[in-house]
Structure 1
Amino acid sequence: MHTPPTPPPRRPDAGLRSGSTPPGPNKIRETRPAATPPAPSAQQIADMTATARQLAGAHQEQNPKNLRYIASTRQATLAATTPSRPVGDASVYVIQMEGDFQRHVRHAKEPLRGTSMLILIDAETGQVTDWSISAQPFDLRELGQTVPL
């Protein structure tokens, strides 16, 4: 009786970023543009505010100011703020706030500093997908009207 050879172990897609997981066998990566999410519920607003304050505190700012959000998509937001273009898209709430943020980076003598923090939160899961610290607030007018948190 002949037994077929054992297939090689499945390796993660070489194009995945560190910390990413490949989609399951029945999952197809979303490549269609996402839609702007609806206005968040009161609970989502409370959760977004708590997340923003927690990230600010983790970056040495205990009293962030001018917290505001806008409903958008991840691709549209990143196109307006960075050269990054991730695969796929998602409906997100974009939070921008001001303060004195610091991030200590391994192998750097001085911490990275900025006066603006941008956070993207997946509208469906409530998870932070991206965040950044910058010297100036981003002009988000092309994404729509910001709303205070």
Structure 2
Amino acid sequence: MNGEPSPRNIEYVITGRYALSRTDGSRPAADDPTYFVQMTGDFVNYYARTPRGSKAPRGTVLTVMVDVATGRMLGQSLGSAPHDLSRLGTVRTLP
């Protein structure tokens, strides 16, 4: 997934999986520390399962969740409106 060579406004918070469940509706088994990364651009989910002949989903906001301890990606999503990351923790910006 991507299609965006130069994502902008890359921000992240370190939060717990329980807090993230409010953003994606998941039901995590544990409240493991998680990086929640958000960026803007013109993204395309080339790996989405879509009906034959349909175009890949597009969005202007990409979010990625990464397990702090393992570095394993837990999930990603595309959207059209950014989340208010300050509700999840201290917001940090990548250059």
Tell me the distance in 1 between the aligned counterparts of 2:8 and 2:87. Answer: 22
The Cα of 1:87 is off from its aligned counterpart by 2.3
Q: CA RMSD in A?
A: 1.5
Please tell me whether the aligned partners of residues 13 and 91 of structure 2 are also in contact (alpha carbons under 8 angstroms): yes
Please tell me whether the aligned partners of residues 117 and 132 of structure 1 are also in contact (alpha carbons under 8 angstroms): yes
The Cα of 1:85 is off from its aligned counterpart by 1.5
Segments of 5+ residues of structure 2 without an aligned counterpart are none
Please tell me whether the aligned partners of residues 96 and 119 of structure 1 are also in contact (alpha carbons under 8 angstroms): yes
Residue 132 of structure 1 corresponds to 77
Q: Which structure has the bigger radius of gyration?
A: 1
Larger RCO (alpha carbons 8 Å, 6+ apart): 2
The Cα of 1:138 is off from its aligned counterpart by 1.1
Can you list the C-alpha shifts for 1:55-105, whole angstroms capped at 9, x where unaligned?
A: xxx4101100011111101121121x1222132231111111001011133
State the TM-score, normalizing by the size of structure 1.
0.56
Please tell me whether the aligned partners of residues 12 and 85 of structure 2 are also in contact (alpha carbons under 8 angstroms): no
Instruction: Decide which structure has greater strand share.
Output: 2
Please tell me whether the aligned partners of residues 118 and 132 of structure 1 are also in contact (alpha carbons under 8 angstroms): yes
Q: How many residues align?
A: 91
Aligned-partner residue type, residue 87 of structure 2: E
Aligned-partner residue type, residue 79 of structure 2: S
Alignment match of 2:13 (pick from 63, 70, 73)? 70
Residue 27 of structure 2 corresponds to 85
Aligned-partner residue type, residue 6 of structure 2: N
1:96 has 2:38 as partner = yes
Tell me the distance in 2 between the aligned counterparts of 1:88 and 1:71. Answer: 15
Alignment match of 1:147 (pick from 83, 89, 92)? 92
Please tell me whether the aligned partners of residues 120 and 131 of structure 1 are also in contact (alpha carbons under 8 angstroms): yes
Identical aligned pairs, as a percentage? 34
